[in-house]
Amino acid sequence: MHPMLNIAVRAARSAGNVITRGFENRSDLLTEKKGENDFVTKVDKEAEQTIISKIQQSFPDHSFVGEEGGLVEGDKDFQWIIDPLDGTTNFIKGIPHFAVSIALMHKGRIDQAVVFDPIRGELFTASKGAGAQLNGFRIRTGKAKDLTNTTLATAFPFKDKAQSDESISRFTNIFKQCGDVRRCGSAALDLAYVAAGRYDGYWERGVQPWDIAAGELLVRESGGLVTDYTGGNDPLYKGEIVAGNPRVVQSLVKHLK
């Protein structure tokens, strides 16, 4: 395992311990509202600080971008992009589907990635050019040749419902072409599941870099393709993403344009 990936895994597992303890004691949970339908808990904040502290023990000069803490200035060539608890609403409601997401960007490109599901004990990892793994075993995207009989994943713009009509129209168009669609509430796990071949494809608008950075590398390193809604190959800051094997992505983009 790449040394920096090894550190990221340790940080993700430490954050997972924080999250698991919080999940078992949700009666003590303090929830704050960041925006419309957008919540944060003390567990999110504690998990993010745990991740940063663990990484800084080995790389004190690196910079960080976290969902909760914002930007921590440092060496711009090495920037960690962190979502300490992707799927906070699930966590608050007691739905055991959420994950820690950690990615390392080196000179503008995602180089290392970890998505950790602390409830199932599933650790998805990837290093640029070295493939993607689930608990140490190589994973690959699915082999679907088009949308027929595929199982896809998506999400609706719950933070900005003014976009809902457009999103529902796209959903309806794609739903008529595929087998079924899941909407489970964690972009990081959606992308990890695409990388592992559990989902054949995924699309979503309204995502932030910390939602998708680690998952993007997982999909690419498992043989998949990641684009924006127009087929562009760098979706990290576009706020929209399409992922799957190349044929599925091509079909999805055709219906999303």
Q: Give the model's pLDDT for residue 155.
A: 93
Q: Give the model's pLDDT for residue 37.
A: 47
Q: Give the model's pLDDT for residue 71.
A: 83
Q: What are the sequence ranges of the domains in the chain? A: 3-138, 151-256
Superfamily of chain region 3-138? Fructose-1,6-Bisphosphatase, subunit A, domain 1 (3.30.540.10)
Q: Give the model's pLDDT for residue 32.
A: 66
Q: Do domains 3-138 and 151-256 have the same CATH topology?
A: no
Divide the 257 residues of the chain into consecutive groups of 10 and give the mean pLDDT of each group: 95 97 81 59 92 96 89 92 95 96 97 98 98 98 96 84 81 95 96 98 95 98 97 91 97 93
Q: Give the model's pLDDT for residue 164.
A: 78
Q: Give the model's pLDDT for residue 35.
A: 53
In CATH, what is the architecture of 151-256?
Answer: 3-Layer(aba) Sandwich (3.40)
Q: What is the pTM of this model?
A: 0.94
Question: Exposure of 110 by Cβ count < 10 A (0-12 exposed, 13-18 middle, 19+ buried)?
Answer: buried
